[in-house]
């Protein structure tokens, strides 16, 4: 197809308003040194002609691209899409991130990057060179990848690190994983549980450790032991099943289990069913994520809700602020999640009494 030129350019507006290109540019970018009456006249022409600046031209002349790049782990994201298990992380990111971008006249471009790849750096460099984004949003496990973080820092592109406590580069945001784990644990303790098991997520994600910390902290605060109550997991259903079997097979099994993902909680529920353990009568279950399916299990799962949309939204705000020269926040932004109580948690069996 032939070249497609902009139908209405800054030139047309300038001609229509009888001013120089410069003045129009100033009006578009809300710059000073334009008399109100001038501004009004130009704005009228803009509206009349339906003029919208070309972001390509804007970027070319060295200013902003109005593009924010959101980067997710390729393998995991595609697996989630293919698996159709209702993981709505991407949707929630779009909900929070895209809409916030739109408010500021920005656009969000979604990009998948492979973590387990020696050319992460090349991939990312290419995306940046091609798109010249004004900011980048990193999600786990990229948020703590030193190669990626170093590259972005060196290129002086404002970037958010979701699920990271940061360091001296980029803007860190967490979903208060430790606090959420504490709240989940507290909920179970309040119900009367003393032996609460925990199935962590993949150690590749820092937040997996924080959740364990939260659980351990709250248990300790209540004077409860955690020996033999921490299993192993990696977020997957299979790992959850193995962990649940391990925990329930022990001599003194837990009366409640917190799983670091919905898939692992689902697996725990299934293992309980297999062994004839009633949920929540004999075993309470709390999961992390609160994806759509947990409302449909039998019983529905009590779950930690991850404020993904809100976090993405904050990330966009912080990036745009940084772009405008705001100082880098020293402390990580912590967006608090919620605990949604459903049928999978109840008082423990009275046996001990």
Partner DNA sequence: ATGAAAGCGCTAACAT
Partner DNA sequence: ATGTTAGCGCTTTCAT
35 vs 82 by CB, closer to DNA = 35
* Separation between Cα atoms, residue 203 and residue 108, nearest integer Å: 29
Residue 323 within binding range of a copy of itself, rule CB under 8 A? yes
Residue 328's SS3 state is coil
Bond into 280 cis (ω within 30):
yes
List 32, 296, 330, 352, residue binding a copy of itself (CB under 8 A):
296
In the list a copy of itself, DNA, none, the entry touching 11 (Cβ below 5 to 8 angstroms by class) is DNA
- Expressed in angstroms, the distance from the first to the final Cα of the chain is 80
Examine residue 293 and tell whether it contacts a copy of itself (CB under 8 A): yes
Q: Which residues pair with 138 in a beta bridge?
A: 71, 161
Of 241-280, binders to a copy of itself (CB under 8 A) are none
Residue 86 interacts with a copy of itself (CB under 8 A)? yes
Burial 290-302 (b: 16+ CB within 10 A, else e): bbebbeebeeebb
Listed ranges 29-37, 77-85, 181-189, 251-259: which one lies at the site for a copy of itself (CB under 8 A): 77-85
Measured in degrees and rounded to the nearest 5, phi and psi for residue 30 equal: 55, 40
> Is 62 an interacting residue with respect to a copy of itself (CB under 8 A)?
yes
Of 57, 78, 79, 147, which lies in the binding site for DNA, with binding defined by CB under 7 A? Answer: 57
Contacts of 308 (CB under 8 A, 6+ apart): 89, 92, 93, 96, 175
Q: Note whether 332 and 164 are within 8 A (CB).
A: yes
CB atoms within 10 A of CB 182: 20
CB 181 within 8 A of CB 215: yes
Residue by residue, DSSP assigns 56-117 as: HHHHHTTS---EEEEEEEHHHHHHHHHHTS---HHHHHIIIIIHHHHHTT-EEEEEEE-SS-
**Residue nearer to DNA on the CB measure, 39 or 275:** 39
**Would you count residue 60 as binding DNA (CB under 7 A)?**
yes
Among 38, 90, 224, 321, binds a copy of itself (CB under 8 A): 90
Q: In terms of DSSP bridges, do strands 302-305 and 338-340 run parallel, antiparallel, or are they unpaired?
A: antiparallel
Residue 20 interacting with a copy of itself (CB under 8 A): no
Nearer to a copy of itself, 6 or 206 (CB): 6
- In the list a copy of itself, DNA, none, the entry touching 351 (Cβ below 5 to 8 angstroms by class) is none
25 binds DNA (CB under 7 A): yes
Among 15, 49, 63, 282, binds DNA (CB under 7 A): 63
Query: With CB under 7 A as the contact rule, which of the stretches 16-24, 183-191, 242-250, 317-325 interacts with DNA?
Result: 16-24
Residue 327 interacting with a copy of itself (CB under 8 A): no
Q: Give the residues lining the site for a copy of itself (CB under 8 A).
A: 1, 3-8, 50-57, 59-60, 62-63, 65-66, 78, 80-82, 84-86, 88, 90-92, 94-95, 98-99, 102, 107-112, 122, 125-126, 129-132, 155-158, 291-293, 296-298, 309, 322-325
Q: Give the residues lining the site for DNA (CB under 7 A).
A: 3, 5-6, 9-11, 18-26, 28-29, 32-35, 38, 51, 53-54, 57-58, 60-63
């Amino acid at each position: 197809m032939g070249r497609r030129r902009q139908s209405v350019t800054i030139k047309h507006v300038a001609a229509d308003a009888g001013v120089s290109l410069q003045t129009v540019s100033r009006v578009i970018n809300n710059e000073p040194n334009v008399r109100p009456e001038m501004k009004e006249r130009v704005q009228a022409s803009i509206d009349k002609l339906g003029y919208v600046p070309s972001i390509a031209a804007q970027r070319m002349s060295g200013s902003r691209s109005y593009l924010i790049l959101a980067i997710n782990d390729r393998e995991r994201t595609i697996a989630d899409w293919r698996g159709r298990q209702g993981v709505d992380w991407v949707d929630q990111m779009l909900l929070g991130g895209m809409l916030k971008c739109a408010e500021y006249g920005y656009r969000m471009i979604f990009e998948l990057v492979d973590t387990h790849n020696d050319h992460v750096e090349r991939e990312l460099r290419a995306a940046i060179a091609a798109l010249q984004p004004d900011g980048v949003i990193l999600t786990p496990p990229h948020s703590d990848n030193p190669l990626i973080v170093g590259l972005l820092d060196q290129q002086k592109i404002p970037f958010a690190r979701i699920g990271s406590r940061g360091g001296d580069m980029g803007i860190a945001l967490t979903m208060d994983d430790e606090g959420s784990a504490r709240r989940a644990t507290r909920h179970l303790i309040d119900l009367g549980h003393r032996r609460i098991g925990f199935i962590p997520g993949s150690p590749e994600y820092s937040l997996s450790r924080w959740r364990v910390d939260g659980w351990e902290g709250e248990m300790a605060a209540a004077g409860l032991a955690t020996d033999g109550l921490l299993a192993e997991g990696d977020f997957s259903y299979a790992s959850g099943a193995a962990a649940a079997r391990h925990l329930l097979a022990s001599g003194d099994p837990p009366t409640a289990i917190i799983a670091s993902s919905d898939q692992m909680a689902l697996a725990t529920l299934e293992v309980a069913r297999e062994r004839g353990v009633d949920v929540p009568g004999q075993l309470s279950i709390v999961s992390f994520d609160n994806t759509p399916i947990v409302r449909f299990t039998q019983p529905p799962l009590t779950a930690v809700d991850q404020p993904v949309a809100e976090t993405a939204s904050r990330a966009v705000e912080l990036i745009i602020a940084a772009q405008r020269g705001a100082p880098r926040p020293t402390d990580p932004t912590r967006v608090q999640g919620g605990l949604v109580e459903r049928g999978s948690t109840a008082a423990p069996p009275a046996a001990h009494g």
